[in-house]
Structure 1
Amino acid sequence: MSMHESLENILIIKPSSLGDIVLALPALTALRKAFPDAKISWLIRPEFAPLIENHPHLTDVIIFERKLLGKAWFHPYAFASLLSLIRRLRRDKFDAVIDLQGLFRTASLAWLSGCKKRFGIANAREFAHIFYSHKVAPDTDCVHLVDYYLKIIRAAGASETLAHFVLPQDPAAADSIRRLLTSHGIRPDNYAVFIPGSAHSDKCWPTQRFAALADKISSRFHVSIVAAGTESESDTIEDLKNLANVPIANLAGQTSISELAALLKAARLVVSNDTGPGHIAAALSVPLVMIFGRSNPARVAPYARPQCVAAIEADNRGLETDSSDPKHDIKAVTSGQVYQKVCEQMNP
């Protein structure tokens, strides 16, 4: 694409997951800087939409009901909903579609939109690359997803692509979190947040180690401990409470995405598995320790913050997304390693 060609109507396709959406936020900001007058839309699953609603660099949010649309081949209502979405995309007449998901369903939607300029991941799974007019290969010397997404944005015509994380601020959510913390007897300016759960059990650092860490942090830094997560993770947090010798507030399932962001933003420290809330904390630049197992930290660690990573061989895993090497099991990350990282974050 010519450097002088301006885009007026851009669609970003990145429906999920929460952490990956956070890592794509710098791409949105880079697009807005490159094309200040463009309409920029984002196709996203409904459960993650609150993260980007009212984003200052976004014009429109298009909801992608993946669970419903996945039934389109046998369910009449789902098929009608899919046709409605396709009509909506074609009606919008995008002059660039950027698929950062790289799956068959998202790449095919890019093609079905009727847009002629479709940018995507060169080695996308499920043969998704066949739907792209512009296939962008990752750099072999820089594997972080933020950098890769920004490279795709440059292919679409953006020239200045420094990584800036912008998250919408919600004053009402911040007020809600202050009330919630106060109801648990916690000062809203003196707490640490633990994220002990994950959608993948092999990404979960052992609960008993979180409990021991809570005791140490509470004793040394005199902060209250809050544990957050989805409602399904409440049992994990209850186990954490029972194992710890200090009080832990269980906020699982009690926060919206906006409230979760507000909770993380005001924390003195966040300790998290490699999961969505941890990536929100990273984007907010709060003191953070993120614990990695099989996931390659070089790809998804807090961007430009290597001091936040607790992992085995964090910088020596090559280009692979995940490792099957037993030495990279999350249980191999010791309590001492994580506590040292915590001390470095609390005493920079």
Structure 2
Amino acid sequence: MPSSPFSIPKHDGNRPSRILLVGPSWVGDMVMAQSLVQVLRQRFPGAEVDVLAPAWSAALVARMPGVRRAVSISAGHGRLELWERLTLAHRLRGSYDQALVLPNSLKSALVPFLAGIPQRTGYLGEYRYVLLNDTRRLNKHLLPMTVQRFVALGLSKDTEPPPDVPAPRLEVHAANVQYALTELNLDADRDILVLCPGAEYGPAKRWPTEQFAAVGRTLAGQGWNIWVMGSAKDGETAQAVCDLVGPTAVNLAGRTSLAQAVDLISLARAVVSNDSGLMHVAAALDRPLVAVYGSSDPGFTPPLSPNSRIVSLGLKCSPCFQRQCPEGHLDCLLSLAPDLVLAQLAELLPDLDAGRPMIAGEC
């Protein structure tokens, strides 16, 4: 868990004044990259920090304090698309003093190399020896968390990584929030519970629909609005949750842009989510959050907010990091009762009545 205040030594040598972060392709990882932005702005006061990011994430980068702008690349996840990278690199020549390459793939290091950025920092991997000239060896025991690994790239090689890192932050603007409400015809006059039942990685990270709905029904019975959010791929699951919760639930999965999802989550009085990108968004917005973990490890990618709680059964077979349950039973999620989540919500919201969840068919 991050501590405050976070402090690192100022840089004593040549100070880069223009820094390019090559960002990750996952929403959650991109959110965690904001911690690195904070470190760079503290280490190099006055430096301009840009983020090279997939086009879909430009709006997310725009909500990261400390970033000047997003440099979009439309090359798809896992695709080389060399011509596009060459064209972008030509456009970026002479624009930056240092590039920090957060992904470990070879293709992610191509643009900084082709653009001739003088200092190119990243972890060894995928034969990137030529592409990077400031290489680091990743010590997974010293840096067990993804966010720690990102932050360490912003420090010099001889700097001992700090035990704590600054929590990622996202900022929204009231005009954008109001625009999202108007566009989607949403009511924000009552307390809002956001449910995020999706997880891009696979079923072994998804708490069952019925359990999400049980939490939603409990708060709906106390007069809350329930917003169910996710990507278009989560639409069917989100609708199933809404059907079980009742008429106060709104299915927003696939109906919002990523920017709108961030802006709307900022209105939530509470969020319940699987280990997903939207979980990290909620944490970075400092919304009261309960994160449900099944096959993944809360010690690797936890929500980095003191206003969050983690629910995990800690079975012998978990975390397995698999997309599908290798044991065929999914007990790490099926056996995780809604009462456990409601109890954590009650800790975050002392005035919440976390009573017995309603079951299907109850009024």
Give the TM-score of the pair, scaled to structure 1: 0.84
Where does residue 343 of structure 2 map in the other structure? 340
Where does residue 72 of structure 1 map in the other structure? 81
1:85 corresponds to 2:94: no
**Does the 8 A contact of 1:196 with 1:204 survive in 2?**
yes
Q: Deviations over 1:148-192 (max 9, x none)?
A: 2111111279999840433232222211244367x35x3434111
Helix, strand or coil at the partner of 1:151? helix
Helix, strand or coil at the partner of 2:109? helix
- Residue among 3, 9, 14 paired with 1:5: 14
CA gap 1:171/1:4 in 2 versus in 1, 3 angstroms: same
Mapping 1:73-222, distance limit 5 Å? 79=83, 81-92=84-95, 94-122=96-124, 124=125, 126-128=126-128, 131-132=131-132, 133-138=134-139, 140-155=141-156, 162-179=165-182, 183-184=185-186, 186-202=187-203, 203-219=205-221, 221-222=222-223
CA gap 1:247/1:169 in 2 versus in 1, 3 angstroms: closer
Where does residue 7 of structure 2 map in the other structure? none
Displacement after TM superposition at 1:12 (Å): 0.4
CA–CA separation in structure 1 for the residues paired with 2:201 and 2:168: 26
> Which residue type is aligned with residue 297 of structure 2?
N
Gaps of 5+ in 1: 74-78
> Which residue type is aligned with residue 8 of structure 1?
S
Mapping 1:271-286, distance limit 5 Å? 271-286=272-287
CA gap 1:205/1:127 in 2 versus in 1, 3 angstroms: farther
CA–CA separation in structure 2 for the residues paired with 1:273 and 1:69: 24
Displacement after TM superposition at 1:301 (Å): 0.8
RMSD of the TM alignment (CA)?
3.2
Where does residue 24 of structure 1 map in the other structure? 33
CA–CA separation in structure 2 for the residues paired with 1:55 and 1:143: 24
**Does the 8 A contact of 2:287 with 2:307 survive in 1?**
no
Where does residue 259 of structure 2 map in the other structure? 258
CA gap 1:264/1:13 in 2 versus in 1, 3 angstroms: same
Helix, strand or coil at the partner of 2:29? helix
> Which residue type is aligned with residue 109 of structure 1?
V
Displacement after TM superposition at 1:214 (Å): 1.1
Displacement after TM superposition at 1:288 (Å): 0.4
CA–CA separation in structure 2 for the residues paired with 1:127 and 1:337: 46
**Does the 8 A contact of 1:42 with 1:62 survive in 2?**
yes
Displacement after TM superposition at 1:67 (Å): 2.3
Helix, strand or coil at the partner of 2:76? helix
Where does residue 293 of structure 1 map in the other structure? 294
CA gap 1:72/1:260 in 2 versus in 1, 3 angstroms: closer
**Does the 8 A contact of 2:228 with 2:242 survive in 1?**
no
Displacement after TM superposition at 1:283 (Å): 0.6
**Does the 8 A contact of 1:189 with 1:266 survive in 2?**
no
Gaps of 5+ in 2: 1-9, 352-363
Helix, strand or coil at the partner of 1:211? helix
Mapping 1:313-324, distance limit 5 Å? 313=314
> Which residue type is aligned with residue 262 of structure 1?
D
Report the more deviating stretch, 334-343 or 288-297.
Answer: 334-343
CA gap 1:268/1:307 in 2 versus in 1, 3 angstroms: closer
Displacement after TM superposition at 1:307 (Å): 5.2
Report the more deviating stretch, 222-231 or 53-62.
Answer: 53-62
**Does the 8 A contact of 1:265 with 1:284 survive in 2?**
yes
Q: Deviations over 1:181-211 (max 9, x none)?
A: 7x35x34341111111122332221111111
CA–CA separation in structure 2 for the residues paired with 1:268 and 1:306: 11
Displacement after TM superposition at 1:46 (Å): 0.6
**Structure richer in helix, relative to its length:** 1
Displacement after TM superposition at 1:57 (Å): 1.5
Count of residues in Structure 1 that have an aligned counterpart in Structure 2:
335
Give the TM-score of the pair, scaled to structure 2: 0.80
